[in-house]
Chains A and B, each alone.
Chain A
Amino acid sequence: MTWSDELASFLPRFFRGFVITGRLPFKPKVTTLYPEVKRPKPERFHGRHVLNRYEDGMEKCIGCELCAGVCPARCIYVRGADNPPDAPVSPGERYGFVYEINFLRCIHCDMCVEACPTEAITESKLFEWSFVNREDAIYTKAELLVDDEGRPQELPWEDWKPGDERNTSAWLRATSPSGSAASEGQPLWSGELGHGVRPAQQGQSASDAADFPAEFDLSLREMVSGALRGIGVDGSRPSRGRPPASGTEGHNGPEGQP
């Protein structure tokens, strides 16, 4: 290849790069303006804990300390006490007298949620909180407990938007239900005061649920592929709804499934 050929093949490519980037400022932006606009969170998101109650206002926690025992970060401190016979706090024999979680230690592994026999402790979708001292980092029982409508309490150093406090129920298995046929199609969420139990997610081995992404995943993928298409890159297009039963046409085709 001579130098003139080299130059002749280099220059068009060189300037094409500028054309590609030069068109980008006129495309819709991919940035999410975060505090104003919030993306949907993953369905199994692990946020800060809440202590749940029954419909009649009774606390679910029975002070069994299983959560404290299973906690790998040793951030939970529980002390149970006998229920006073005239004014019981929980339906059982005992109740959680002291319940504290140190959020400077908590790794949000959700093992306390799995361990809990009464679905008392679950993780909400809340994560926008910035405490500035250690006192605030240790959430006491009074701060963790939901109110009569099942809403978590908004503490002074937490910043929510309406709707953030919903879906406080927790996924009860860290592992996927595809491993056990018995748990497929079973709602594996704990109940949520005021909202009931959310519908079950499909197991991975269900034939019509293969590659059935969560709402969050879908919206993210749609946004990214939309942005890529906007700048002229023909990426994969996510399929909303069920994929074709025996389709050999992949979802990666230029005219994928709607």
Chain B
Amino acid sequence: MGDPLFANGLNLAVWLILILKAVVVFVLVLVSVVFMVMYERKAVAQLGVRYGPNRAGPNGWFQSVADGTKLLFKEAFTPRGADKVVYKIAPYLMLVPALLAFSIVPIGGTVTIAHHTTDLQLANPPWGILFLLMCSGVSVYGVMLAGWASGSKYPLLGSVRASAQLVSYEAVLGLTTVTVVVVSGSLRTSVIVAAQHGGFLYHWNVIRTALIPFAVFSIAMTAEMARPPFDLVEAEEELSGGYNLEYSSTDFMWFYLAEYAALVTNSAIIVTLWFGGPDGPRIAGHSIGPVWWLIKLLIILYIYVWIRATLPRLRYDQLMDLGWKRLIPLSLALLMIIAGFQVDREWGIVAIGASLLLGAVLWRAIDVGRQATSVEAARHERVAEEAGQ
């Protein structure tokens, strides 16, 4: 259950190994961000029939290093109206949760350092997956405070909009995560992964929960990361850049880093929750969990880039409609249905029936609301017309 590292209590060696693991995970996330920026740019270029960056370094793979260096040497600028302390803290409020969330991802297998065996996972708390929800909750503060502390109108509007989006989709994210927890019977990520072992693909949660919760979860996750098609947070047309408009140099780099760290981390979470983590067939009798984990991660990341290259950005009302009117009721129903099937087949069928009934009621309510709005709009139009004459 727990990490075998703590079997003999805490001593200096254990502490050192823990620090080493923390540093390795930290470096891993940072390196993965540098990689991901290039991976995305290359892949999105390929999807747009282009080559992508191909000048800096071998085949252009050092482009993100060059970009990062450029950002570092730019002028760090604080607007006059800014709340200095909050303005400086906000990027870290976004960066730190994105880095921390990676610590609960099990990469699979164990490693032995100086007679101490330890899991390839930094932290394995009993409240594991709640930690992810906490991290994505805290990062909203980064977005909100960055816009507020800039002392400027556009970032403020952008941050209000962005935090509304993030908070809305957090509910969906939480509810669909609970379906996994219900199926696996634990919040621990290592247990969630272990529960999916035993059969390639067949035992993975994405199949066990019949795909739809995964679809809802991944939509919510995409919105939570503000990735296309939900990248209204960026809003370059109407808010000339969104919440991080007034940031430059290193502070801007933290936002950028946090965005991509969140992308990598959340893709790793998707692999953990839905695709069995490091689960996969043995090759020549060897368990190669980390390799399977990496392959799955790269595929998920590619799909995110693919989505970016394919789907146009949603409008804000469409985004909110999708979140509140469709996904939240749907994820509630899915949670009820899956919980029902966990208890008994009959309860599951009852839950499906109840969900359909409640769905019909909700649909009717939305319809009535829509009609009322259109009637109201028509009345306003008429009044305006009469006033015009």
Chains A and B form a bound pair: yes
A interface list, Cβ under 8 A from B: 3, 17-18, 20-22, 24-25, 27-31, 33, 227, 230-231
| Interface 0/1 of B285-322, CB less than 8 Å to A | 00000000000000000000010011100000000000
Residue of A nearest to B367 (CB): A3
Select the stretch in B48-56, B68-76, B99-107, B255-263 that faces chain A.
Answer: B48-56
| A31 and B48 alpha carbons, distance in the complex (Å) | 10
From B49, B309, B311, A29 is in contact (CB under 8 Å) with: B49
A33: B residues at CB distance < 8 A = 51, 54
B306 pairs with A22, CB closer than 8 A: yes
A170 vs B365: C-alpha distance when bound (angstroms): 73
| Of B47, B49, B51, B311, most A-chain CB atoms within 10 Å | B49
Within 8 Å by CB of B49, from A3, A22, A231, lies A231
* Chain B residues, CB < 8 A from A227: 49
Cross-chain contact B310 with A18 (CB below 8 angstroms): yes
Residue numbers in B under 8 Å from A17 (CB-CB): 310-311
Closest 8 CB pairs of A and B: A25-B46, A21-B310, A31-B51, A31-B50, A17-B310, A30-B49, A21-B309, A21-B47
Bound Cα distance A28, B49 (Å): 7
Point out the residue from A3, A21, A28 that lies within 8 Å of B363, measured CB to CB: A3
CB distance from A45 to the nearest CB of B (A): 25
Give the docked Cα–Cα distance between A228 and B32 (Å): 35
Nearest chain-B residue to A17 (Cβ)?
A: B310
Question: In the complex, A27→B47 CA distance in Å?
Answer: 9
Q: How far is the CA of A33 from the CA of B53 in the complex (A)?
A: 11
Q: Other than A29-B49, A30-B49, give 6 A-B pairs with Cβ distance below 8 A.
A: A17-B311, A18-B310, A22-B47, A30-B50, A33-B51, A231-B49
Q: Please give, as numbers and ranges, the residues of chain B lying within 8 Å of A231 by CB-CB distance.
A: 49
User: Beyond A24-B46, A25-B46, is A18–B51 a contact (Cβ under 8 Å)?
Assistant: no
| Contact call B47/A25, Cβ cutoff below 8 A | yes
Known: A29-B51, A31-B51, A33-B51. A18 touches B306 (CB 8 A): yes
Name which residue of chain B comes closest to A18, CB basis: B310
* Whole-angstrom CA separation of A22 from B306 in the bound complex: 7
CB-CB under 8 A for A24 and B306, given A3-B363, A17-B311? no
User: How far does the alpha carbon of A33 sit from the alpha carbon of B60 in the complex, in Å?
Assistant: 13
A24 and B363 contact, CB distance less than 8 A:
no
Binding site for A on B (CB under 8 A): 46-51, 54, 306, 309-311, 363
Asked whether A24 lies within 8 Å of B47 as measured between CB atoms, the reply is: yes
Residues in B whose Cβ lies below 8 Å from that of A21 = 47, 306, 309-310
How far, in whole Å, are A27 and B363 apart by their CA atoms in the complex? 44
Contacts of B49 in A (CB 8 A): 24-25, 27-31, 227, 230-231
B54 surroundings in chain A (CB, below 8 A): 33
Separation in Å of the A233 CB from the closest CB of chain B?
Answer: 11
Q: Chain A contacts of B48 at CB under 8 A?
A: 24
Give the docked Cα–Cα distance between A31 and B309 (Å).
17
For this complex, 21 residue pairs linking A to B, each with C-beta atoms less than 8 Å apart, are A3-B363, A17-B311, A18-B310, A21-B47, A21-B309, A22-B306, A24-B46, A24-B47, A24-B48, A24-B49, A25-B46, A25-B47, A28-B49, A29-B49, A29-B50, A29-B51, A30-B50, A31-B50, A31-B51, A33-B51, A231-B49
Which chain A residues lie closer than 8 Å to B309 at the CB level?
A: 21
CB distance from A28 to the nearest CB of B (A): 8
Minimal Cβ-Cβ distance residue in B for A15: B310
Cα–Cα, bound, A227→B309 (Å): 18
Question: How far is B50's CA from A231's CA once the two chains are assembled, in angstroms?
Answer: 12
Q: Closest residue of chain A to B303, judged by CB?
A: A18
Chain A residue at smallest Cβ distance from B363: A3
Once bound together, how far apart are the Cα atoms of A227 and B48, in whole Å?
A: 11
A28 to B363, CA, bound (A): 47
Task: Write the nearest CB–CB distance from A92 to chain B, whole angstroms.
Answer: 50
What residues of chain B lie closer than 8 Å to A30, measured between beta carbons? Answer: 49-50
A247 to B310 CA separation, bound complex (whole angstroms): 40
- Give the shortest distance, in Å, between B306 (CB) and chain A (any CB): 7
Closest to A2 in B: B363
Report chain A residues within 8 Å CB of B50: 29-31
Bound together, the chains give a CA A70 to CA B48 distance in angstroms of 46
List A contacts of B51 (CB < 8 A). Answer: 29, 31, 33
How far is B309's CA from A24's CA once the two chains are assembled, in angstroms?
Answer: 10
Closest-by-CB residue of A relative to B44 is A21
* Shortest CB distance A135–B (Å): 28
* Chain B residues within 8 Å of A230, by CB: 49
A247 → chain B closest CB, angstroms: 32
CB-nearest residue of chain B to A231: B49
B92 to chain A, nearest CB (A): 36
CB neighbours of A18 from chain B (8 A): 306, 310
On chain B, the residues within 8 Å of A3 by CB distance are 363
Q: Could you tell me the distance in whole angstroms from the C-beta of A79 to the nearest C-beta in chain B?
A: 45
User: Which of B46, B47, B310, B363 has its CB near the most chain A CB atoms (within 10 A)?
Assistant: B310
A-chain residues with CB within 8 Å of residue B46 when the two chains form the complex: 24-25
Best-surrounded residue of A22, A25, A231 (most CB of chain B within 10 A):
A25
Instruction: Looking at the assembled complex, report how far the CB atom of A66 sits from the nearest CB atom of chain B, in whole angstroms.
Output: 44
Closest to B308 in A: A21
- Chain A contacts for B363, CB-based, 8 A: 3
Q: How far is the CA of A227 from the CA of B310 in the complex (A)?
A: 18
- Complex Cα distance, B310 from A21, in Å, reads 6
Residues of chain B within 8 A of A28, CB atoms compared: 49
